[in-house]
Every structure is written in C-alpha cells, then in structure tokens.
Structure 1
Amino acid sequence: MTTERLYDYYRENPVISTDTRNISPGCIFFALKGDLFNANEFAAQAIEKGAAYAVVDEEKYATNNQCLLVEDVLSTLQDLARHHRKQLNIPVIGLTGSNGKTTSKELVNAVLAERYKTFATFGNLNNHIGVPLSILSITGEVQIAVIEMGANHQKEIELLCTIAQPTHGIITNVGMAHLDGFGGFDGVKKGKAELYAYLKETHGYTFINRDNPYLLEMSTAAGLNKLIYYGTENGNTIKGELKSSDPFIEVDWTNHDVSSSVKTNLTGSYNFENILAAICIGDFFDMNPEEINTGLANYQPKNNRSQLTKTEKNTVICDFYNANPSSMTAALKNIAVLSADKKTAILGDMFELGPESHGQHELIAKQANESGLDEIIFIGKDFYSFKDNFKGTFFESPAEAAAYLQENPVQDHLVLLKGSRGMKLESLLQYL
C-alpha cells in the first residue's frame, strides 16, 4: 500500500478516525498502537460500525479487502498527512512555545477568521498523532491554517515541521516546561528552536516578540532573515501597550503609525504578548485594525485556560489545564495585582520537571507566600514535602483538599486554581 494509493482512498473518504468510539460512516480507521493497547484488534469492529477502511499493520487482522495492510500505521498516517500537505497551496502558521500555545493559536485564528476561511488545530491535537490528524482535516476551501505543535523532547518539533510544513512560524516563549524530557532549560530552547531551523531552511517567515531576549538569541543563532517583530518598543511592526488587566486585558497598539485600542475577554497580564502576536499576524496578512480588534474582542477563553468564572460563592481564575514553573509564576504575579478584597490560591503539583522538580516547587511555594494572598492551599506530594517550611494548608491529594473545602468553605474570594493536568483540579471547582 503506497502513500499515493492510500491518498486515493482518503480523497474518497476524507475523514480519519483513530478511536472506535468515534466512527463516522465512510471514515478511514487507523489502528494505532500504544504501550497499553493495540488498535489492530478493533479493526473489524471499526468496519462493522461503518468505517470504509481500516489501516492495519499486522497481517492477521487484514481479514478482508476493507483492511489495508501497511508496514507501520503511525508512520503511514504521518506520510499521508505530508502528502496531503503538499497538495495544499496555502500559508500554514506553525506555532509552538512553553506557555500560551493554545491561547495564542485560538487568538490568531479568531483574528484571521474575520477575513479568511481558516483552519486551526482542534483542542490540543499538537503531537506526533494530533498534527497529522489536523493536517488531514484541512479541506480545499481553507485559505490559512494555524497548526499548534507541542513537544516534550528533542527532535519532536523537527518531526512535526516535516508534517505540517509551515510557511510561517512563531514561538510564543520558552520557559521551565517539560524539563525532564528536554534535559533542562537549555534543552527547551534547543528543542523549540527546531521550528526556527525549519523556517531558515525553507525561507519561511517568523514572527518574533522583540521583548523576549531568549527568542532574539535563538533567532539570531538560527540565522533567520524573514523576521516580523512585535513588542512594546518603537521599531517593531506592531507596538503595543498594556492599558489594563484588571480583570480583563485592554491593549493600545500601533502599526504603520495608525493607533488602535481593543478590550478583550482574557484575564492575566501574561496574555498581553499572546494578543500582540495575534495582532502582528493579522496585520501581516493585510487585515485592517477593525477586523483585528473584532476578532480579539469576540474571543471567549475556554478549556480552563485563563478563564474567569463566577460561581455562586467566588470569582475563580480557572487556569488548571496545565502548569509549569514559568506559567505558575506568571499566574501568581497576575493575581497579586488584581483588585479583590480577599484572594486565595489553590496550587497543584507541576509534572515533568525531572531533577529540578524539588527546587522548582520550593521556588513556587516561596513566591506564593510572598504574593500577599489571604489563603494558600497546596496540593500534591511535591508541594506537601514543604509543609513545614512555608505558610499555607497542604494536602497530598485533591480528595483531601475537597474535604477541607467542604468543611472550610471559601466565600467572596478571588481564587486562582492552577496545577498540572494530571492533578485534575477541576474536581475542586464545585466546592468553590
């Protein structure tokens, strides 16, 4: 089964599924393998549910002519996406970074969609499986695509670039994330810079936050020359100023000596640079200030990223989709400057920090204690190890914290709820 032949099947059945729980009539099911599962075993079931074909890589599961036998299902999926990408003569914006990837992707898409037919990565389908699925979801009507690329080790962005083949790119920032997989902060910079290396090789355009010294250093090292700058100083294509972030962000910005202003529904001053990035990309694609501002003003944050939620008892900053030391520091700085009579932070452990985990949790606990909060609740075994070193209430699990909140309800507070995804802090929202 060659890629070209499989592409003929795909053009007739342009919907891909990797989960038998989500089979749509006429789709192509790709039987991926994982550490704990082998989807080859479910190929027949996928066809029974209406899949037109099932792509398998074990001969014993190729039981009829609807089963397409390949050497490796994952690499076949990636090769099919590469082939499809080559048929698409459109700009593709590759987007990565330690923090703010998904919010930036959503903001860029919200802006561009005011003028263009766009496609943007669904949710966080940003890895070696999600990116090919995203590329294969791009239809012929799409004029611009925004593809989010996540990574937790070296060479992953390099691989994703060969699939998405971005013509334009942006690294939102580099921070203390996935330190274990990348091998420390220098490894993070090296891994993210793989996007810059691809854009240098393919003569692509790069959007750079000129206020970020790490990005400037990385772009210089990569030898990039098609650069579009944004930031807070003169000399940038887009110059911005944060007017307010209490609780929602207002930005004044200038391009080509034309000044404009926009009010957003985003909280967190750390999102200012993500907004500027979206403005810069919209401007590059010939959008006028009115279109750009409309896209930004209408964007509603979701998926528990910088999402301000009013409950019956409190105002909660729902930012518990994920966490690392950089984003945790930014969130603590943000709540410190917001106006509220009483403030509480509920902080969960940060994962994938490797040997630096102990020191980074200690640093965040110290920052939280210095943030002027009325109450701090720490959750997780890493934070719990500091229960005798810092003020605050410490629990080893969210279940213990939930019991405490039921007995000691938080009322009329501004609450920051933040931790790594694996902490499942959404379980606490009902008690706030």
Structure 2
Amino acid sequence: MIQELYTIFQKYPNITTDSRKITPNCIFFALKGDNFNGNKYAKDALEKGAAYAIVDEKEYVTSEQTILVNDALESLQKLANYHRKQLNIPIISLTGSNGKTTTKELINAVLSKKFNTTATKGNLNNHIGVPLTLLSMNSDTEIGIVEMGANHKREIAFLSSIAEPDYGYITNFGKAHLEGFGGIEGVIIGKSELYDYLKASDKFIFVNGDDTKQVERTQDANTYVFGGSDTYDLSIEFLTANPMVSCAVDGKKIQSQLIGSYNFSNIAAAIAIGTYFKVNSDDIKEAIEAYIPSNNRSQILTKNTNKIILDAYNANPTSMKAALDNFSDLTDTSKIAFLGDMFELGDSAKEEHQFINDYAASLEIEKIYLIGENFGITNSTNEKIVIHSTFESLKENFPALENSTLLIKGSRGMALERILELL
C-alpha cells in the first residue's frame, strides 16, 4: 500500500492534513484528534480540488479518489519514511529542551548559503510535523534539517525511526515537560534517544563541548565538538551579550541580533555545522548577522519610550532562569520583568514557580510581575515582587511605564505578548 501511495505522491507531491488549506492537486490525509475527525472532511477536500483523500473509515469512501487505509496517521508516517529512503541526502535532526527552533533557523540560514536546504517550518516538530517536513523535501533538496520535539519518552526514538537522520544535535537538557518525562532524568533519557539512534546507526553527532551532560552522553560516538576550548574541533570564543550576542572564530568577530548569553550555544552550533559542511566563513558570518528572531522569540521591540525583550513563545524553569540572568546583567536602568506561568511541570510546578519567585527577587531587577495560577500561589515578602493570579488582574492594575526595559516571558498558553497592547 505504501508503494502505491508513493506512486501517487510522486505525481501529486503536496500533502495537507488541514481541509481548510487545500491546494489544487494536493493529497489530503484525514487525521484524527481528541476533538476532530478528518475523515468527515475528505469529501469536502476533494470538492475543493484535492487529487486524493486518504481516509481510515470506510463510510467516508465516496469515490475512486478516496483511498482507504488502516490508519491515516500511520500511513502518513510510513510514506514519509519511504520518501526519506529515496532522497539519498544528508539529514540533520535536532532536539533539546530550549532553543530548538532558533538553532534550526540559524543552521538553515548558514547552510542555505551553500546548499539547497529544506527545514522544518516553524515548530512543526511532532509525530505529524516531522513526516510533513520530510515529505516537503524533493529532488532539489541537498540537505534536510528536521527539528524534533517531545514531551514523553520514546517520542524522539520514534521520530528518529521516521527521519533516519545522518547527523544530530541536542541543544541542552532542561526542566521542560517534566510532567510527561517524569523529571529531569527522564528528560535526559528521552532527548538522548536521538543520540541512541545515531550511535546505533554509526552516524554523526555535533556536540557542545562546554556542556558536560552532552559530552558525557556522546563519549562513544562519532563526534564533531565545538565550544570555547582550543582543544575542540572548532573553537568559538564568546565575546559579549550586552545586549546582543557576539562571538569570534579564528579572530573574526560575528555580531548577532540575538539577545541573551543563552543564545551563544545556538549560534555556535550553527557556526560549527556550517564549518563542518565547508560553508565559506564569510557566508557563515553574514548568515548569523542577518538572522532576526521572530514569533515572540527573543525579539527586541520598542513601544513609546520602552524597550521590550519579548520572549513569550515558551518557558520552563531552565529557560526562565537563563532569561532572568541575562536580563539582570544588562546595564539598562529601570528593568521590569513580566513572568508568566510555566506549563507541564506536573508535581514540580509549585516548587519550580516558588524558586523563580525567589530567584527573580534576588537579582538586579527593579520590579517583577508574576502572572498566572501557579505564580499566584507563590509567596514573597520582597517588595519588588507583584503577583497577579490572572492576566485580567494584571490588566486592571497595569503600571504606568516610561523609559523602562521590559522582559516579557512565559509559556505559550499565557500569551503574554498581550502586554504589548497595555503599554
């Protein structure tokens, strides 16, 4: 059946799983979720111009353009893996607790200076996004870059079995998705499934030599090590992050438009991977310096008289602490932090939110506003800390701010970019 589907895919290479985004002669895969059944939209997809609809419920087979399979999602995944085997190109996969998408974008910016690349769009990095990324690659693609996300063990192993990467990189192990992984050790085991796959396949790993956990996990692997030491395969010197990160390779300075020292390792990974693939050093510098973050990730904005560091795409205890450290180190006066709840922490939620409350209060920050149900049950006697259990409460009591530097950070569900409307 997969070979039959692949023959159709070769003729109609555009795939969609959203009946609202049908393009002429695409193939619609009718996927199911907790609150939807794509099979119900198969007929509509065909009427909108899809060449075929792949369904897994017999009652929705309405024409010869409807193909019945046992499981539409499984068929999408198997088709993606079959396609990957035909591509015969190097594929780089990356995962990690923080910085995945930024690092992927930087790697793509660097490698696309020399190669025709296809990379994960946005953060479509799960059991649906990875297959769609692979299926978006074609005969023009010279290198594929696949981001992998997970919130449970065995997910990275499964995604690796679909993408079959030749190269891998893990940004870090942090306190993200603790509820699903069952704690930080679970995170390390789960993310390391990429390393396990690459080792078992005798493939290649890029390693941040300054991260002892990454070094420990890759002792017996084929590696290319980068970081701040002259003993590594590539030495990259950290210069400053006040406020933008700059670094140097072989004495050549690279000035990024990314804020926060925590972005140094993301930049360094892109430089290292570009160097490994023999991208010209001037092109690497140009790619890094031209990259501007978007989608609420470490963006620097100005509104009225206030400078804003908008990092509201996501948050966990590790990334929150790193953002606070960087913010505290800035030489700006009148620094105000707006921190939103961190999700998916399970039994650790109360402890981790109280830690951030206490930690933020100890830093060189004038005022810290904590927003959300989890922060709402934390305690502080420090007058710098202001707690609002809901965004509506913050909105009703929003302070008048002028000539201030603001940090806005929280989990995606908090949508703290709404603060911009209050300034």
The TM-score with structure 2 as length reference comes to 0.98
Which residue of the other structure, out of 207, 231, 235, is the alignment partner of 1:235?
231
CA contact (8 A) 2:243 2:259 kept: yes
Answering whether residue 391 of structure 2 is matched by residue 398 of structure 1, we say: yes
Q: CA deviation at 1:285?
A: 0.2
Q: Which residue of 2 aligns with 1:136?
A: 135
Q: Which residue of 2 aligns with 1:244?
A: 240
**Root-mean-square deviation (CA), in Å?**
1.0
The amino acid that maps onto 1:246 is: N
CA contact (8 A) 2:350 2:378 kept: no
Label 1:291 to 1:388 Cα distance change in 2 as closer, same or farther (>3 A). Answer: closer
Q: CA deviation at 1:389?
A: 4.8
Q: Distance in 1 between matches of 2:87 and 2:382?
A: 55
Q: How does 1:83-98 map to 2 (within 5 A)?
A: 83-98=82-97
- Stretches of structure 1 lacking an aligned partner (at least 5 in a row): none
Q: Which residue of 2 aligns with 1:160?
A: 159
CA contact (8 A) 2:357 2:380 kept: no
The amino acid that maps onto 1:352 is: E
Q: Distance in 1 between matches of 2:67 and 2:12?
A: 14
Q: Distance in 1 between matches of 2:139 and 2:386?
A: 55
The amino acid that maps onto 1:89 is: N
CA contact (8 A) 1:398 1:428 kept: no
What CA deviation, in whole Å up to 9, does each residue of 1:220-263 have, x standing for no partner? 3xx31x10001111211221222121121111123xxxx32111
Further displaced range: 167-176 or 390-399? 390-399
Which residue of the other structure, out of 382, 401, 406, is the alignment partner of 1:415?
406
Q: CA deviation at 1:339?
A: 2.0
CA contact (8 A) 1:243 1:249 kept: yes
Which residue of the other structure, out of 355, 361, 372, is the alignment partner of 1:369?
361
Q: Which residue of 2 aligns with 1:36?
A: 35
Q: Which residue of 2 aligns with 1:179?
A: 178
Q: How does 1:39-188 map to 2 (within 5 A)?
A: 39-188=38-187
CA contact (8 A) 1:177 1:325 kept: yes
CA contact (8 A) 2:358 2:380 kept: no
Q: Which residue of 2 aligns with 1:341?
A: 333
The amino acid that maps onto 1:310 is: T
CA contact (8 A) 1:94 1:147 kept: yes
The amino acid that maps onto 1:404 is: N
Q: CA deviation at 1:388?
A: 4.8
Q: Distance in 1 between matches of 2:402 and 2:341?
A: 24
Q: How does 1:242-391 map to 2 (within 5 A)?
A: 242-254=238-250, 259-391=251-383
Q: Distance in 2 between matches of 1:240 and 1:336?
A: 25
Q: Distance in 2 between matches of 1:234 and 1:371?
A: 33
CA contact (8 A) 1:243 1:250 kept: yes
Q: Distance in 2 between matches of 1:314 and 1:48?
A: 51
The amino acid that maps onto 1:60 is: E
Q: CA deviation at 1:399?
A: 2.1
The amino acid that maps onto 2:272 is: C
Q: CA deviation at 1:403?
A: 2.2
Further displaced range: 92-101 or 239-248? 239-248
What CA deviation, in whole Å up to 9, does each residue of 1:144-175 have, x standing for no partner? 11110000000000010011111000001101
Q: Distance in 1 between matches of 2:79 and 2:309?
A: 41
CA contact (8 A) 2:245 2:261 kept: yes
Label 1:351 to 1:57 Cα distance change in 2 as closer, same or farther (>3 A). Answer: same
CA contact (8 A) 1:209 1:277 kept: yes
Shift >6 Å, 4+ stretches? none
Q: CA deviation at 1:387?
A: 4.2
Q: Distance in 2 between matches of 1:389 and 1:156?
A: 42
CA contact (8 A) 2:354 2:379 kept: no
The amino acid that maps onto 1:402 is: K
Q: Distance in 1 between matches of 2:192 and 2:137?
A: 26
The amino acid that maps onto 2:391 is: P
- Stretches of structure 2 lacking an aligned partner (at least 5 in a row): none
Q: CA deviation at 1:313?
A: 3.1
State the number of aligned residues.
422
